[in-house]
């Protein structure tokens, strides 16, 4: 990578305004994949779709992603299916790196992911390889992936990537399939030398079914176990489709007396990351943990977002035929990059704009003191209720403003959709509404 590209690829940590640019843009290069995983969001298929973006359209997309921001372009992730099944993936990595994007890839752990392929990706400018590991044993992982030998390929690929000098991220989908294995998974992660553990929580979309979801109470158990792991680990940990992890972290930090002024970040409309807040003292401790001066995590230049990423809010997903979605787990079409620029779609699509406006949330997420740092998973709200602004139905937290309400089951989906304003005093309501 040239010096210019290197300089450009490290945006100012606080320059990312989610109204203007996502922190992360994920492109499903192809839907083709040799695995048949139980939960597959993409409902992957064995062969490439003839309607996939052409190479020229792919390069154009990369140019547009780079143009999101001179100083803070998004992290660019090539996913699938299996991106290795596209003949152009190596060229995309090389081109994206040459224009100054930080590039990560999420290949499937199959025989195609050879040491040579990993070496070529690294030579072309790849920063990080993310790979899925869903069980602490071959039996659990391979059952989930429906492919004997997948666990062995995964462990080998992790070692190969590290030997090539790449940082490694491990993605784990937490579901009914591995809830009982979570302690073993936490222990295993400590031994793998990873940079980031990304815990995905199943959203019933694609092949993921609601019966495979863990219960709201199990979410609480899992999120607390992740927090305990993150405290001791020398890697970063983030969740996908479970933003209430951030609430759990802040609750722990408060209880441990470490939160200091982080309560500012729990206030509705706190404008987290805004110039005002920065003046007051910067981002909360969970953001700064393990960061180098300037906000960069250890190991590579990928970094972590200065505020909570959520569907369509700091996050955008482009599928193999160019359709744009708020995330890979929220199947709401917002435009197509074959016809419209990704910048225009991200900034101006009415659904995406609405998703970024937490004052329009419904139910208890609207009245929650953690709304600005969490906001609930918009993808799960959509999957469970059909309304992407409805409350997160797999969070057990009852906001203080609603604690006086007796005899209400806050986990019942119909209560969550219901506007909670009728339960609040007028002075309470005011604090949760958008300023005029
Ligand atoms: S109630 Fe909603 S906003 Fe509050 S912590 Fe739970 S999911 Fe997050």
Q: What is the pLDDT of residues 296-319, one digit of tens each?
A: 344 555 565 656 889 999 999 999
pLDDT higher for 367 or 418? 367
Which of 372, 399, 405, when mutated, tests ligand 1's pocket best, judged by the most ligand atoms within 8 Å of its CB? 399
Query: Quick check: bond before 418 cis, omega within 30?
Result: no
* pLDDT score for 341: 98
Rounded distance, CA 44 to CA 39, Å?
Answer: 10
Is the CB of residue 53 less than 8 Å from the CB of residue 324?
Answer: no
Res. 87 pLDDT band, cuts 50 70 90: very high
CA of 385 to the centre of ligand 1 (A): 16
User: Rounded to an integer, what distance in angstroms lies between the CA atom of residue 135 and that of residue 123?
Assistant: 31
Nearest ligand 1 atom, CA 368: 4
Show the ligand 1 pocket: residues with CB < 6 angstroms. 244, 247, 364-365, 368, 370-371, 374-376, 391-392, 395, 397
Tell me the CA–centroid distance for residue 321 and ligand 1, in Å: 34
CA distance 11 to 435: 30
Around Cβ 19, how many Cβ atoms within 10 Å? Answer: 12
CA 7 vs. chain centroid, Å, equals 25
Which residue in 204, 240, 197, 244 sits closest to 23, CA to CA? 240
> Of all protein residues, whose CA lies closest to atom 6 belonging to ligand 1?
395
What's the gap in Å between 382 CA and the centre of ligand 1? 15
In this structure, the number of other CB atoms found within 10 A of the CB of residue 73 comes to 24
0.75 exceeded by pTM = yes
Q: Taking a C-beta distance cutoff of 8 angstroms, is the pair 34, 46 a contact?
A: yes
pLDDT band of 383, cuts 50, 70, 90: very high
Residue 77, strand partner residues: 26, 104
What pLDDT, on a 0 to 100 scale, did the predictor assign at position 287? 43
pLDDT digits (tens, 9 = 90+) for 209-247: 778 889 999 999 999 999 999 988 889 899 999 999 999
Ligand 1 geometric centre to CA of 216 (Å): 12
Distance 371 CA to ligand 1 centre (A): 6
Q: Which of 239, 242, 244, 250 to mutate to test the pocket of ligand 1 (most atoms within 8 A of CB)?
A: 244
Averaged pLDDT score across all residues of the chain: 83
């Amino acid at each position: 990578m040239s010096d210019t590209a290197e300089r450009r690829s490290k945006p100012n940590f606080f320059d990312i305004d989610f109204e203007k640019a996502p922190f992360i843009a994920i492109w499903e290069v192809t839907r083709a994949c040799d695995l048949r995983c139980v939960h597959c969001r993409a409902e992957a298929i064995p062969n490439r779709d003839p309607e996939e973006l052409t190479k020229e359209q792919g390069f154009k997309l990369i140019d547009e992603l780079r143009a999101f921001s001179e100083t803070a372009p998004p992290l660019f992730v090539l996913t699938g299916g299996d991106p290795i099944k596209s003949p152009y993936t190596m060229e995309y990595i090389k081109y994206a790196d040459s224009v100054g994007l930080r590039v990560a890839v999420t290949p499937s752990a199959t025989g195609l992911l050879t040491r040579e392929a990993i070496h070529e990706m690294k030579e072309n400018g790849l920063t990080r390889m993310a790979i899925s590991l869903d069980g602490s044993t071959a039996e659990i992982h391979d059952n989930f992936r429906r492919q004997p030998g997948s666990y062995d390929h995964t462990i080998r690929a992790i070692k190969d990537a590290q030997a090539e000098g790449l940082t490694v991220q491990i993605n784990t989908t937490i579901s009914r399939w591995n809830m009982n294995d979570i302690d073993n998974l936490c222990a295993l992660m400590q031994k793998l030398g990873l940079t980031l553990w990304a815990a995905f929580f199943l959203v019933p979309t694609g092949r993921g079914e609601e019966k495979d979801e863990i219960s709201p109470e199990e979410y609480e158990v899992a999120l607390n176990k992740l927090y305990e792991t993150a405290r001791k680990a020398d890697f970063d940990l983030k969740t996908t489709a479970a933003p209430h992890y951030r609430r759990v972290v802040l609750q722990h930090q408060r209880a441990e007396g470490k939160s200091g002024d982080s309560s500012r970040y729990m206030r509705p409309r706190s404008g987290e990351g805004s110039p005002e807040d920065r003046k007051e003292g910067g981002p909360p401790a969970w953001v700064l943990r393990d960061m180098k001066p300037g906000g960069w995590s250890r190991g590579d230049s990928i970094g972590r977002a200065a505020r909570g990423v959520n569907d369509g809010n700091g996050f955008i997903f482009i599928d193999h035929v160019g359709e744009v979605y708020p995330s890979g787990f929220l199947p709401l079409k917002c435009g197509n990059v074959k016809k419209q620029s990704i910048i225009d779609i991200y900034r101006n699509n009415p659904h995406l704009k609405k998703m970024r406006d937490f004052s329009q949330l419904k139910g208890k997420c609207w009245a929650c003191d953690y709304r600005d740092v969490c906001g609930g998973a918009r993808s799960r709200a959509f999957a469970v209720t059909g309304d992407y602004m409805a409350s997160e139905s797999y969070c057990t937290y009852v906001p203080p403003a609603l604690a006086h309400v007796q005899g209400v089951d806050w986990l019942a989906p119909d209560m969550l959709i219901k506007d909670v304003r009728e339960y609040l005093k007028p002075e309470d309501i005011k604090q949760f509404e958008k300023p005029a």
